[in-house]
Amino acid sequence: MTRPLIGVTTSRRSGWRVYPLVNLNLWLAGGRGIRWGAGRPADLGTVDGIIIGGGDDIAPELYGGRLGISARLDRARDDFERTLAEQAIARGIPVLGICRGAQMLNVALGGTLDQTAWQTYGQQEVIRTVLPRRAIDIIPGSVLERIAGPEEMTVNALHTQAIDRTGHGLHVVARDKSGMPQAVERQGDPFALGVQWHPEHLFYARRQRAIFRALVEAARGHAESRAAVPKAAEA
């Protein structure tokens, strides 16, 4: 069976070390990746799904925030990924957002971000580690629950911002113990899930691999439906 092709956006700063991990997870899930980014060729017509990866902060002017708070900005990447997310949803292409990617999915659909999320939720210690040190609760009845199960999940954290007001069609489906949003999703087609943590670093965990497998399965379904259109036209 052909492996679905997934476009993976990365940071120009850290993509060289993160992309191989993401592609490993895709391969283990039955897919294959191609690295995209601002300045790199990217064509939604050639892929079956996309991953919007982690890294830089999102410029606050994209969602009405204040300038000067975010420290690591890449406006070319912002513009590229926002357009990519908007077009993918409009064309029914499955999307997985990882950390910054979850935030960009939310912004692309009209949502906003909390630039000082750790203070907002009263967390004295800012957790920044690729190790699973943060407990989150998954909302019953969500797509994420169907993918990863209902039990409490322990994840990592490398972010400074978090989702504030959700974008059109998105729902918060996981929160940490302080109430900070940790995942958002669409509950209809196309598949669109954003997780605030980095599952690519947790490839040894069955429930984290299940997130990539869900994207690959959705991408395979998209590829099959796209292939069926010309056949229907010929009939």
- Among residues 81, 99, 185, 217, the one annotated as catalytic is 99
- Among residues 81, 185, 200, 217, the one annotated as catalytic is 200
Which CATH number does the domain housing residue 32 bear?
3.40.50.880
- Among residues 159, 198, 201, 222, the one annotated as catalytic is 198
The whole model's pTM is what? 0.93
Whole domain around residue 200: which residue ranges?
A: 5-234
User: What does the alpha-carbon distance between residue 148 and residue 162 come to, in Å, rounded to a whole number?
Assistant: 21
- Our answer to whether residue 185 is catalytic in this structure is no
- Our answer to whether residue 99 is catalytic in this structure is yes
Domain count for the chain? 1
User: What does the alpha-carbon distance between residue 157 and residue 161 come to, in Å, rounded to a whole number?
Assistant: 11
Which tokens sit at 162?
């978090």
- Our answer to whether residue 198 is catalytic in this structure is yes
- CB 46 within 8 Å of CB 36: no
DSSP summary character for residue 201? G
Give backbone dihedrals phi and psi of 77, rounded to 5 degrees, phi first.
-65, -40
Output the tens digit of pLDDT for each of the chain's 235 residues: 699 999 999 988 777 789 999 999 999 999 999 999 877 778 999 999 999 999 878 888 888 877 655 557 788 999 999 999 999 999 999 999 999 999 999 999 999 999 889 899 987 678 888 999 999 999 999 999 999 999 999 999 988 899 999 999 999 999 999 999 999 999 888 999 999 999 999 999 999 999 999 999 999 999 998 888 765 555 4
